[in-house]
Amino acid sequence: MARTVIIEQPGGPENLKLVDRPVGAPGPGEVRIEHRVCGLNFIDVYQRTGLYPMQMPQALGMEAAGVIAEVGEGVTHLKPGDRAAYAATPPGAYAEERVMPAAQVCPLPEGIAFDEAAAMMLKGMTVQYLFHRTTPLKKGDTVLFHAAAGGVGLIACQWARSEGITLIGTAGSDEKCQLALDHGASRCINYRNQDWVAQVRDLTGGKGVDVVMDAVGADTFNGSLDSLKPLGMMISFGNASGPVPPFNIGILGQKGSLKITRPTLFTHIADHAACQEMARHLFGKVEAGDVRIRIDQRFPLEDVADAHRALEARKTTGSTVLEV
C-alpha cells in the first residue's frame, strides 16, 4: 500500500484526498518506483478542476524522482536501485510509490538531487522543446516569455542566456521581475502597472519579437500576437488564466502572416528515445551550471491542497515540490 493523492470528482483543492492504495508488481515494460520528492505543475490544476477531463477516481501528479524498486520484463534502461526521475503520463506521481510505464522514466545522474529532479523534469523538458523542437531559434533571436518568474520561466531565462537568445519576460510584480532578471532575462515587464505590448514594441525598436512563449492563455493571447514581428511564431503552451477562446484564423494574416502552434510536452516525449535524449540535454544544462533549479516552496504530501491554493493564487515563484 502507498499513500496516494486522488480526486473523486473535479473541483477545488478541497477535493484532493490522501488515501492508501495498493501498488502491485510491474508488468512488461513497467517499473515500480519509490518516490522521494514529487513536483507540482499547472497541469495538475487543470486536471483537478476538470479543464482537462479524466475518468474518476483519478490519482494526480505528473513528475517525481526516486529509486527504482523493481522492473518488469523488457525494461533494459533501468534496474533496481537506480536513481530515476520522470515527467510522464498517466498521472499518479503524488504518491509514495507507484507502478508505471518505464519508457519515460529517465536514469538520474548522481550530481542532481532528488528535489531538483522532481522540480525540473516537466518544466525543464518543456523549455527544451520550446527552444529546440518547436521552431528554429538561434543566437541573437528575441523571445517574449510570460510568467518569467515561475518554474518554467526561470529555467527559460537561464536557458536563453546560455544560448545567446534575448528573453523579454513579463511578471506580476517588481520583485518577480527582478527574479527573472537575476536568472538571465534581458528585460522584464511588470504587466500590472505597464502596457507590456507597448513596452515590447519599444524594446524591439518597433519590430516585435521572433517568438512568443505563452502559458498564460486567455489573458495574454491577443497581446502576444500584437508583440510578434511579421512571420513570427506564437507558441501557446498553457492556460493559467483560462483557455484561449476561438478566434478568426484570418487575424494571423492581418497581423503579419504569423504562425501559431499549441504543443504539449507529452507529444514530444511519447517516443522513448526522444524523451531520453531531451532529459539528457536538460541534465547536461544543469550539470554544467547553465541552469540552476530554484525551489521556493516545499509542502509535505499531506498538505497538497495548500500547495494547489498557493499555485493558483500566483503566490509562488520558481518551483514547488511535495516531499513524500
Q: Where are the domains of the chain?
A: 2-122+292-323, 135-262
Lookup result for grid cell 498517466: 90
The stretch 213-236 carries a mean pLDDT of: 97
Residue pair 121/128 in contact by the 8 Å Cβ criterion? no
Query: Mind listing the pLDDT tens digit for each residue in 268-293?
Result: 999 999 999 999 999 999 999 999 99
Distance separating alpha carbons of residues 18 and 2, to the nearest angstrom: 10
Q: In degrees, to the nearest 5, what angle opens at C-alpha 12 toward C-alphas 8 and 13?
A: 85
Distance separating alpha carbons of residues 174 and 317, to the nearest angstrom: 13
CATH topology for the 2-122+292-323 domain: Quinone Oxidoreductase; Chain A, domain 1 (3.90.180)
Residue 311 in 3-state DSSP? helix
Q: In degrees, to the nearest 5, what angle opens at C-alpha 297 toward C-alphas 296 and 302?
A: 165
CATH topology for the 135-262 domain: Rossmann fold (3.40.50)
> Is the pLDDT score of 318 beyond 90?
no
> Is the pLDDT score of 40 beyond 90?
yes
Distance separating alpha carbons of residues 139 and 121, to the nearest angstrom: 25
Query: Mind listing the pLDDT tens digit for each residue in 42-74?
Result: 999 999 999 899 999 999 999 999 999 999 999
Inter-CA distances, 210 with 75, 94, 306, Å: 42, 38, 38
For residue 69, the surrounding DSSP H or E stretch is: strand 63-71
**In terms of Cα–Cα distance, which of 28, 32, 29 is closest to 103?**
29
256-260 long-range contacts, CB within 8 A, separation 24+: 256/208, 256/228, 256/229, 256/230, 256/231, 256/232, 257/230, 257/231, 258/225, 258/228, 258/230, 258/231, 258/232, 258/233, 258/234, 259/135, 259/231, 259/232, 259/233, 259/234, 260/233, 260/234, 260/235, 260/236
The cell for 42 is 499547472
Classify residue 27 as exposed, middle or buried by CB count within 10 Å of its CB (0-12, 13-18, 19+).
exposed
- Do the strands 228-236 and 58-59 form a parallel or antiparallel pair, or are they unpaired? unpaired
Same topology, domains 2-122+292-323 and 135-262? Answer is no
pLDDT for 314: 85
DSSP-derived letter for residue 278 is H
pLDDT band, residue 240 (cuts 50/70/90) = confident
The stretch 228-257 carries a mean pLDDT of: 95
Query: Mind listing the pLDDT tens digit for each residue in 98-110?
Result: 999 999 999 999 9
For residue 63, the surrounding DSSP H or E stretch is: strand 63-71
HEC string of 45-60 equals HHHHHCCCCCCCCEEC
Q: Mention every residue, 6+ apart, whose C-beta is less than 8 A from residue 118.
A: 36, 37, 38, 39, 63, 64, 65, 85, 321
pLDDT band, residue 317 (cuts 50/70/90) = confident
pLDDT for 120: 96
pLDDT for 212: 98
> Is the pLDDT score of 228 beyond 90?
yes
* Average pLDDT, rounded, for the chain: 96
Q: Mention every residue, 6+ apart, whose C-beta is less than 8 A from residue 287.
A: 109, 111, 112
Q: By percentage, how much of the chain surpasses pLDDT 90?
A: 96
Sign of the C-alpha dihedral, residues 187, 190, 196, 199? negative
Residue pair 91/61 in contact by the 8 Å Cβ criterion? yes
> Is the pLDDT score of 297 beyond 90?
yes
Sign of the C-alpha dihedral, residues 9, 217, 128, 179? negative
